[in-house]
Chains A and B, each alone.
Chain A
Amino acid sequence: MDVSPDQETLFVASANSDLRYDSGSVQVVDLRTVDNIIEDWLGSGEAPEDLDCAVDLLVPYTLVCDENEVIRRSSSVRIGNFATDLKVQALDDPDLLRLFVAVRGDPSLTWIDYDVQAHQLRCSSSSGYAECDDEHRLIQLRNDEDFVSLPPEPFGVYVDSTLGYVVMTHLQNGAITLADAPPDGEAPIVSDAIGNLFAGDPQTGFRAAVGVAGRAPGTPNDRIYVTSSLEARVQTLIAVRPQGGGLPTLVPAEFFFMSRGVTTSNIGRGIAFASDGSHAYIVNRAPPMLHIIDTSLDALGVPRNAFVGAVELCPEAANLTVTTIQDRERIFVSCFRNGQVWSIDPRGAVVDSIIEVGRGPHALVAAPGRNRLYVSNNLEGTVAVVDLTPGAETENRVVLRLGRPQSAGEAP
């Protein structure tokens, strides 16, 4: 999931294969409509009669609505099976956005343009509920048949809108691919790939690059941080363009080890940065910890990458997002097993709230301008909307659930 820069739209990738279409999909959620529903709901305390919504029988402050009430139905497109991550690129044209989706089934880096005015996703010449065409599924390095296909198991995606590139991690072999993503709207192309940055698992041979984030997006020579679920190492890279232009390439830079702060921390997952790039927040699964790393620049002009603290997390934490609400930074971590999102105050390295969101929370993204957090619940096929309004009676609670919770394997 990701939110448009104007926080008007939420893009949701459905990963599971849709039996009718043999595809995943990307849906467009109108956040203004979402907020209208929430406002009415919290104002009246009654489920709206004109919508397909009902009060959650177990959680009286949560309204459950059919997703059709908020999805722009004609906007959706079909993608390959098993999308794992989705990020939005802001283009030079303010009326255009570009979505990048890591799709494991292809495997591909799928890109989709979004017309802000027409509210329309486009990734093929076909109309209707179209499937992204081959041009929009980057499966070949440099689109050159002399090169083999994209590495398998694409997993995490990071987009630098300004510098115009996309970085994607690969779960199985630890590779990292780089795509040139021109802000002027030119078609993206996978320009480089780099591997063997992480040590291989001696039994499986896997290397597992997982989380990826940029320290200061838009800054020349910004460092990209990559975590591995099989190693304590956090590797940094820089996307460099040749002088005079051309396709960017990846240059490895420093690395550091999470285990220097907390012993045996070698199952890295999601990573995100403070808004000023001064700190990195990294989820590690065993022991389940949020590592807080000082990434401010030292006298040498290089990130310090020094461990400063950690916060115990729930089991099976994976993804996180950082947002600032009323000048206060907060970190939200999804807890797949517990069905919770843990809210962390990084200033004191403490859990300041535990939010019950639904079964199998996975992706999460915030819209600070709306005081909302959106959480995709992988095991029940819903998106939970959490109220982040400071001081509100419903702060840190799921006030709206988009989609009716389904059992695993249940037909939609």
Chain B
Amino acid sequence: MNREDRAAARVRAAAWAAVLVLGGAACSEDSVPLTIRNLDRPTAVAFGCYGEYRVNGGDTSAEGTVTRSAQPVGSCAQHATGTPPEGQEGLTDSPRLYGFLLQDSRGTVAVVDSETQSVLDSDPLTPGKNAIPIGTLPVGLVGDHSGCFLVSASAASCDLASMDVSSALDLRAAAGIARVNITSSDGVLMRAKPRALVGRPEPDNKVSPAPEPEPIGLECPARPRGLVYVAYPQCHLIAAVDADSGQIQAGVQFAEDGSATVTDGAVSCPDECGDGSISPTLALGGPDLDAGPPDAGPVDAGPVDAGPPPPDAGPPTIDDMAPRPVALHQGKDGRLYVGAENSPIVTVIGLDEAGGFADVSSVQLDGAVGVTSLALSGEVINGGANGAPGGDGGTSRFLYAVGTDRTVRVVKVDGTEMEECDTQVDPRLIHAETDAQLLPCFPIGDPRTPARRPGAISPGIQMPGDQAPLDVAFAAIVPEAAPEEPAPLALSGTFAFVTTSQGNVYVVNVDDDVYPDAEQPDDPAAVSMTLALPHQIRDRGTGRSEVATSCGTPSTDPSLLGPRVDTGPSRTFATERIAQEKLHLMPWVHQVSCVGTDDQKSATSELSFTAPVADRELAFPDWRSVLNETWSLVFEGVLSRDGFIQDVDGPSIRSGGIGVDGFTLTLNDPSEAFCQLGVEPLDEVQLLGCDPTLGDGQCGLGETCYVHPETPSVITTGVCLPADRADSLATPCRDFLTTRRQFSASEVFADHVVLVPRRRVLRTSPLDGCTSDEQCETMAQVDEALGDPTHPVAIRPAPTGYDWVCTQDPSRPPAPDRCLMACETTDDCEEGNACLAGFCNEGVPPGPECVQAVQRYQVRASDAFVAVGTISGYLHNRVRGADGQCVADPDASPLQVGRIPLRAPPCVESDDPIRDVSPNPCSHLVDQTEAVTPFEDQDGQCVAQDDAVVDRPQIPALQLQNPSMRFNLVDVATTGDLVCNGDRAGDLPLFSAAYPGYEIDVPIIGGFIPLFVQFAATPTFPLRIAPAPDGRLWVLDQGDGGGAAGRVFTLVPNAPASDFFGTVIIQ
């Protein structure tokens, strides 16, 4: 019983008895691993600096008083460089950096010593490592300006909590937590739930005028200082809140059209927080959302610069409600960036000197998408290669926005100008692009921006597989010694680190100063545009630009060298259909000539590493789409190869019901599988019946797997029939039961296909059409001879015993006349066929009583090879039309093709073949090289000669391009051999020796491997990634895994390659 069978197995009543019964097992709960509870679902991190501190009032010349205290984080950063801040020299114990982890489900803050990367115990008198309670459902954690307080908001009580950093690190006393209500500027209590909270942006030194750093040496204030910014999604509001008083100083209010307006602090929001008291009367309903804040008229902040929307901009929100801001980011340009979970509009708030809201601008992302996280890069000098930083691509920043469409959107930020970049341009279309200003960002809607690669779901960066991006952070990496050769860990430039739902932290090239930026015409192997383009996940492969120096077998390590076929292709064939000695007549993957250093020529697959560079450039034009997978090319193969553990194309074996209405036979699948499978008219539908070796396990209740006693040996299955009527149905259902039960789908709808009998056709029918019945008989003898290893000269053809006629076959796709098996009675037909209307058919329409049971079925293509990738699956362009019929999608990429018919239109001659993808598939002529064992006719005897490598110039080939690769099949048609095997001198009409089930497997390795940070353990759900002042990136793993209830992983982007990011796990 194979896995597919198990998946679809129907369990009849009797089968229950065989089910293993183990008492009490259902009462058992899932085993719970020993849980480490030092951390519990960290969701935010802030950093504090604590230790010896000279309080000198900011007078760096004053001696001041040395104490142990919290201090501005910048103090630790300077101490870490070995040069203490001015006025702080001579301290005996330099301050240390601490990480404070917010744990929202527990409402606590855990403290981590950043130097030792270990969790501290905030309450030594209580067993375990204890965190500091800060409130229920806390949201966000930020340091205030003094560095002496951390501030958080509560989504349960809707207030602010501030924690005294010094007290949190001084174990002699309880941590000082102060709470303050948030109020509007007119004193109204704010009872809306906050979703995000950040502090004031700290601009980098690229901002003019350069910001004044927080003075070091000031005594800690009694209360937190400065503003924090709070996002209220239900109120569609960003509020600037004074951390000390809790009073809202200003707001940015979003409207339903997506626009944002700066208001004063007199804002009003729905009441979402109860205070726990019992009220005399129920307070039903919230305030009127439309009423607007009293006296909260817009401030004269100047015109809103909304920026141009993308050309096909959709509505401002995806649910017709005002934007709900949930993502806040402190830009290094001194501005506040805001994303909304239901809007593609990213809003940018300019701040005045006091941190108040000065102006707003926005950029609208392409399509209906929301934003859940944001990060802005430092200033990037675009371009640069071979280890040389800088370049001529201009200077800009990049905003990365984690979208709800599972991609990371990229926006180029050039001062106040913002435009979204298309990161998914098809590399086929830009391999000659050298515009240094354009390459860093292909603006959406710009005429210079080419089409996207097939399968791209948005212009954003797509994570591998089904992973959803969670958060992103940037790092500018300046290695001590600039690498000159590209390598996965040869990092120099600006990179993004993206966490995903599968626990990975991927590295994205923003500006790679090592890899070349454009193709090199004189050395096509040197650069792959997929790896050169900015805003692509970094590749983990090595030796990508290497070329073959010999014709020997290259490495089989998939992470080495460029994309290629691995030790193949190979094929699976039935010797009774094609003898080993006659495989040269079968379709095969195009081979080219490889000339080694010793000038010895050999044949190699055009997909091989040893193929000429020019061929390889054409074979793999987009490395990002090349996966390490095996492509199976099966003649008249099934449209899905999904097994029990695979979900790519949907189950390969489906179930449906048969409808019989007069002469019309339909297969109805309520799961509407036919368009999804990519079924095309006149594809083959086989009713699989049941496997009698499984008893009645594949039949429904009350049914039995019935095998008719006259069933020929070529049919190994039975049919599910009502158990109490099986014997009586044996006679009326005989023909149905004893044939192959293969039909053609004459009409294809999403939920049903109309089945017609499928005639028995000769596989060697002349492709250009048969000319006579006699020719068909000859070709039938050729068919039989293909399984005979004997040389043609020694074969004595004999009548096949069947009646072959040359005529049209309405049960297959339109083609010239074919050779069909004719009959007067079923006895005239090959076993498994039945005679209908003068022709042998692979199945006969059953009476309704024969097909009452649910039918398992499979669909195969007609007259074509089916290409299915183990990861990519079967690519097709069928969609559901207006009337439910399955039709070709006119908007589908021409690369979304998974069939190679035996005949195809001519390829387009082009000076730039890498760009041309239509028609697809197509036919053209190629130069073929192959190794053969030639035979020589010596007096009617074929005598083997020495093996040789021969050229076959300009032979017909069928070319298929899909997103992954481009390749050719040769010998799809042949005229056969004349005297000896392999002489190809036959004078038969063109025919194909391919038979249903003939399979060519093409295992591809060297495909794109995304680079991710490898930790000692894999994070479970890394919800946040945040840069620390010491240059590390902290990955906050919220998920339970590895026996822990949440962990923190840190990495050092600037670590030497040998340290592989210097990762540490804190748990």
Q: Which A residues are closer than 8 A to B by beta carbons? A: 39, 42-45, 60-61, 104, 141-142, 146-149, 151-153, 155, 171-173, 175, 191-197, 199, 204-206, 221, 223, 229, 236, 238, 240, 242-243, 249, 251-257, 260-264, 267, 285-289, 299-302, 306-310, 312, 314-316, 326, 347-354, 389-397
Contact = CB atoms under 8 A, between A and B. Distances in A.
Interface string B284-317: 1111000000000000000000000000000000
* Shortest Cβ-Cβ A-B pairs, 10 listed: A195-B11, A253-B671, A147-B13, A205-B20, A393-B274, A391-B286, A221-B670, A391-B271, A260-B466, A196-B9
Nearest to A314: B105
A204 B7 CA distance: 19
A390 B852 CA distance: 54
A316 B1040 CA distance: 12
B53 to A, nearest CB: 37
Interface string B9-25: 11101111101111001
Interface stretch (B70-78, B425-433, B643-651): B643-651
Contact of A141 (B13, B372, B675, B1021): B13
B30 A229 contact: yes
A117 B933 CA distance: 91
A195 B195 CA distance: 45
A95 to B, nearest CB: 31
A257 B645 CA distance: 9
Given A302-B671, A312-B1021, A348-B372, 16 more contacts: A193-B11, A196-B6, A197-B7, A204-B22, A261-B468, A264-B1020, A287-B1040, A300-B750, A307-B501, A315-B35, A347-B342, A349-B372, A354-B137, A390-B285, A392-B274, A395-B274
Contacts of B284: 389, 391-392
Interface in B838-896: 852, 854, 878-880, 884, 889
Given A194-B11, A285-B30, A287-B1040, A173 B282 contact: no
B1041 A261 contact: no
Interface residues on B, range: 35 or more
A34 to B, nearest CB: 14
B278 A205 contact: no
Interface in B650-682: 650-651, 654-657, 659, 669-673, 675-676
Max chain A CB contacts within 10 Å: which of B465, B657, B878? Answer: B657
B104 interface: yes
B657 A240 contact: yes
B279 A393 contact: yes
Contacts of A308: 404, 406, 468
Interface in B424-472: 465-468
Interface string B260-296: 0000000000111111111111111111000000000
A172 to B, nearest CB: 5
Nearest to B1045: A315
A285 B1039 CA distance: 11
Contacts of A353: 137, 155-156
B355 interface: no
A262 B1021 contact: yes
B233 interface: yes
Contacts of A243: 657, 659
Interface in B60-111: 104-105
B134 to A, nearest CB: 15
B701 interface: yes
Contacts of A153: 26
Nearest to A350: B195
B660 to A, nearest CB: 10
A302 B9 contact: no
A349 B280 CA distance: 34
B622 to A, nearest CB: 23
Contacts of A249: 700-701, 854
Contacts of A350: 195, 326
A261 B501 contact: yes
Contacts of A149: 16
Contacts of A221: 670-672, 751
Contacts of B644: 199
Contacts of A261: 466-468, 501-502
B189 interface: no
B22 A205 contact: yes
Given A148-B14, A309-B468, A393 B275 contact: yes
A39 B29 contact: no
B341 interface: yes
B87 to A, nearest CB: 44
A391 B854 CA distance: 53
A171 B647 contact: no
Nearest to B318: A347
Nearest to B653: A252
B15 A302 contact: no
B137 A206 contact: no
A191 B10 CA distance: 13
A351 B193 CA distance: 12
A204 to B, nearest CB: 6
Contacts of B878: 300
A262 B501 contact: yes
Contacts of A172: 19, 21-22, 25-26
A348 B233 contact: yes
10 contacts: A44-B280, A152-B21, A191-B701, A254-B671, A255-B647, A256-B647, A348-B233, A391-B287, A392-B274, A395-B273
Given A312-B1021, A352-B155, A394 B274 contact: yes
Contact of B26 (A43, A104, A242): A104
A62 to B, nearest CB: 10
A354 B136 contact: yes
A391 B283 contact: yes
B25 A393 contact: no
A8 B20 CA distance: 43
Contacts of B21: 152, 172
Contact of A309 (B501, B673, B1041): B501
B398 to A, nearest CB: 24
Nearest to A305: B647
A194 B406 CA distance: 35
Nearest to A239: B670
A330 to B, nearest CB: 12
A192 B274 contact: no
A151 B16 contact: yes
Given A254-B650, A261-B468, A286-B1040, A240 B670 contact: yes
B879 A300 contact: yes
B949 interface: no
A263 B105 CA distance: 22
B898 to A, nearest CB: 15
A142 B502 CA distance: 45
Contacts of B287: 391
A147 B701 contact: yes
A148 B13 contact: yes
Nearest to A174: B19
B1038 A312 contact: yes
A301 B880 contact: yes
B272 A236 contact: no
B675 A195 contact: no
B526 interface: no
A44 B889 CA distance: 65
Contact of A348 (B22, B195, B657, B673): B195
A315 B651 CA distance: 33
Contacts of B15: 195
Contact of A252 (B7, B751, B852, B1039): B7
B181 interface: no
A278 to B, nearest CB: 11
A391 B269 CA distance: 11
B672 A300 contact: yes
A204 B31 CA distance: 14
Contacts of B13: 141, 146-148, 193
B535 interface: no
B468 A316 contact: no
A395 B272 CA distance: 8
B317 to A, nearest CB: 11
